[in-house]
Amino acid sequence: MARSSSRRLFFKEMAAVGAAASAPFPIEGGSGTNATIVSPVPIPTVDFHGTRITRLLIGSNPLYGYSHFNSILDRTMKDWMTGENRVRTLHRAEAAGINTWQVHYNDPTIEDLKRYRDEGGRMNWLLLGDFALMTDWKLIREMAKLKPLGIAHHGNRTDTRFRNGEMHVVHDFVKAVRDAGVPGGVSMHNPRVLAYIEERGWKVDFYMTCLYHVSRTREETRAEFGEAPLGEAFMEGDPARMTAMVRKTQKPCFAFKILGAGRAIGNPKALDEAFAFAYSNIKPSDAVIVGMFPRYKDEMRENAERVARLLAGTTPQS
């Protein structure tokens, strides 16, 4: 009997450990209306085509296993980010004071958006064209019915079109978005793309600007720097090169990968410096997009508090 009791206790303890390890984040509460009530952080906002949005958006890459680091982290994110945890992460972001989610198009992302809405979620959403939306433009009008703040041409696809001399396709995509009654934008990693569009006076409503030119091919990187990296190129001078272009356009810009896809999160000081650089070098009317993976800590609340602290008194509210 004693041995049997010990075995039951052991398995009970192991179950508790497993439950703790799979908890969405180290806070109490669930998703939707069952989430713990907390006071939102007063994150400064800017106007985006008639909607006040926080200058911090939550991105979608970690929610769907795109780490831009390595395959092990990709798998870790995918394994932990179940449908439930993805939606709970969105609710937690909203509770922290973040009012906009940047979403890339795919069937699972749109399903999560609808579930989040059904559970009472109220964040705005900004759509990045991807997968089928890049080829089947009839989907643009379907997405317009869900009222995104805007739809942007995907950054990697933009950079490839630029490299291949096919920017007319990007232009036509933006026109199709605007014809559907939605602000149309272009995402990019290469600052030369922004210069190209601005020089030609395209009717574009916003840009998504990666602070790192990670879409360089190995040949391009080798030609520019004399050697090529293992994997994507995160070069230390890239943020300055992109933000210089961001400041030259009057259009709203959303800076992303400001943390180098996790390469700048070693300690609180490094995080502060990365956020401070981004906000100091983009326009006061711009915002940043940050991917968040709250398996180990409440990154949504932490990032919201960091942004509010760094921007205190710098952005007028309406």
Q: How far apart are CA 87 and CA 77, in angstroms?
A: 14
Q: Residue 35 pLDDT more than 90?
A: no
Percent of the chain whose pLDDT exceeds 70: 86
What integer is the mean pLDDT of 90-99?
Answer: 97
Q: How far apart are CA 72 and CA 133, in angstroms?
A: 28
What integer is the mean pLDDT of 7-31?
Answer: 44
Q: Residue 270 pLDDT more than 80?
A: yes
DSSP code string of the chain = -HHHHHHHHHHHHHHHHHHHHT-SSSSSB-SGGGBPP-PPP---EEEETTEEEESEEE-STGGGT--SS-HHHHHHHHHH--HHHHHHHHHHHHHHT--EEEEE-SHHHHHHHHHHHHTT---EEEEEP-GGGGT-THHHHHHHTT--S-EEE-HHHHHHHHHTT-HHHHHHHHHHHHHTTS-EEEEES-HHHHHHHHHHT----EEEEESS-TT--HHHHHHHHSS--SSS---TTHHHHHHHHHTT--S-EEEE-TTTTTTT-SSHHHHHHHHHHHHHHS-TT-EEEE---TTSS-HHHHHHHHHHHHTTTTS---
pLDDT digits (tens, 9 = 90+) for 205-264: 999 999 999 999 999 999 999 999 888 889 999 999 999 999 999 999 999 999 998 888
pLDDT digits (tens, 9 = 90+) for 157-178: 999 999 999 999 999 999 999 9
What integer is the mean pLDDT of 26-54?
Answer: 74
Q: Residue 311 pLDDT more than 50?
A: yes
Residue 51, helix vs strand vs coil = strand
> From start to end of 184-263, where are the E strands?
184-188, 206-210, 253-256
| Residue 185 and residue 152 in contact, taking contact as beta carbons nearer than 8 Å | yes
Q: How far apart are CA 16 and CA 228, in angstroms?
A: 47
Q: Residue 315 pLDDT more than 60?
A: no
CATH fold, domain 2-310, is TIM Barrel (3.20.20)
Domain ranges of the chain: 2-310
What integer is the mean pLDDT of 81-108?
Answer: 97
For the full predicted model, state whether its pTM sits above 0.85.
yes
Q: Residue 290 pLDDT more than 90?
A: yes
